Structure 1
Amino acid sequence: MPLAPLALVADLVARGVAVSAEEEPIVNVYLDVASALVRDAAGTPVSQTTSTTTLEGDGSLRLRLPGLPVTSVSAVAVDGQAVTDWTLRSGVLVRDAGWYGDVQVTYTHGLPAVPSDIVDLVCRLVARALVEYRSGDPLSRPVTQERIGDYSVTYGGQEAATMALSAVQRARLAARFGAGPALVRSR
């Protein structure tokens, strides 16, 4: 099941961006795309969700779960066998017997409410894309071909609106939400 966007059309309207009924379908696509960009940079869903993931146990007593903050764990299995001799501490599963093999975990993680600065970031990305979309008026595009006999004009194709986060924005999201390796261990 896909995650809900990190911002809604109502959030755009609240920031002064007018969205007509005809534009709502494309704006919803842009909201999904912008949300995916932010989630990718953050390395986490940001908004609260329940996930099942398989992690490789390395024998240590602690197993860090991705997608902070972790609020609850509903099931843990090691190599397909359910285990209950663990505790959850600050997003880490602790087990006296250690974690070996493939560890499958079902857990709830992410923030219960999307922070306002994240909503604003998504809205800014969408607003820029919407401006590009709106400038797609054929009269504002360059003429790429013109024929005089039986008059014909071909306008340059409209490129899809592009969205991207700057390197600084990506780094800030990664630092804030813990994307990337938390610990590098050598053997």
Structure 2
Amino acid sequence: MALAPLATVADLEARGLAVDASESGSVAVFLDVASSIVRDAAGSPISETTSTVDNLEGEPGQRLRLPGPPIRSVSAVSIDGTAVTDWKLVSGALFRAAGWRPGCDPATVEVTYLHGLPIVPADIVDLVCRMAAQALVKLRESPESLASKPVVQERIGDYSVTYAYELAYSEMEIPKYLRAQLAARFGTGGGQVVRMR
């Protein structure tokens, strides 16, 4: 199941960007893409969802960190396919006195849990809106082609136009410093979310 975008058309309009009915399909795509880029940079779904990770490496230690904090609740845990119930959720990690590796061999832990925030933070909504708005402005400037190069200079007398040599692949790129801030804020915690329910 796909996650809902981190911002809506109403959020865009609340920031002063009027969206025409004919643009609603494109804007929905822009909001979805921007949300995916922000989630990827954060290493977290950010909004509340139920996920299952099935590739966590069981460690001999007693604490097992889960990806995509904050962790709100855990509904199922198994080690190498065998359900276990002798764990406790403590500070966003699973605690198990016996550790997460039943023997000397590596173990695989599968966890189903509820995580993320029930309300998307205002600054994340704003970031997604700004990214989607840039894509919408680009679409309005050049609706005939997604691959058109931006005009950097134009002259009317004896008509002349200069296009940018460096083609930007997307108006929705996140700078490295912002990616680092998102990752630090939401933390990845290791592992990978592979399916959502």
Q: TM-score, normalised by structure 2?
A: 0.79
Paired residue for 1:120?
126
Cα distance in 1 between the residues matched to 2:33 and 2:47? 15
Q: Classify the secondary structure of the residue corresponding to 1:19.
A: coil
CA positional deviation for 1:162: 3.2
Cα distance in 2 between the residues matched to 1:8 and 1:137? 22
Q: Does 1:56 align with 2:57?
A: yes
Deviation readout 1:23-73 (Å, 9 max, x if unpaired): 000000000100001000100000000000021102111100110000000
Could you tell me which of 105, 112, 117 is aligned with 1:111? 117
RCO (CA 8 Å, sep 6+): is it higher in 1 or 2?
Answer: 2
Paired residue for 2:160?
none
Cα-Cα RMSD? 2.0
Is the alpha carbon distance of 1:103 and 1:179 closer, same or farther for their aligned partners in structure 2, counting shifts above 3 Å?
closer
Letter in 2 for 1:177: F
Is the alpha carbon distance of 1:18 and 1:47 closer, same or farther for their aligned partners in structure 2, counting shifts above 3 Å?
same
Could you tell me which of 178, 187, 191 is aligned with 1:178? 187
CA positional deviation for 1:163: 1.2
Q: Classify the secondary structure of the residue corresponding to 1:16.
A: coil
1:10-159 alignment to 2 at 5 Å? 10-54=10-54, 55-100=56-101, 101-136=107-142
Q: TM-score, normalised by structure 1?
A: 0.83
Cα distance in 2 between the residues matched to 1:97 and 1:160? 50
- Contact 1:129–1:162 under 8 Å retained in 2: yes
User: What number of residue pairs does the alignment pair up?
Assistant: 165
Larger radius of gyration: 1
Structure 2: 5+ residue runs without aligned partners?
102-106, 150-162, 191-197
Q: Does 1:3 align with 2:9?
A: no
Q: Classify the secondary structure of the residue corresponding to 2:37.
A: helix
- Contact 1:132–1:161 under 8 Å retained in 2: no
Paired residue for 1:147?
none
- Contact 2:68–2:189 under 8 Å retained in 1: no
Sequence identity, in percent?
A: 60
Letter in 1 for 2:34: A
Structure 1: 5+ residue runs without aligned partners?
143-155, 182-187
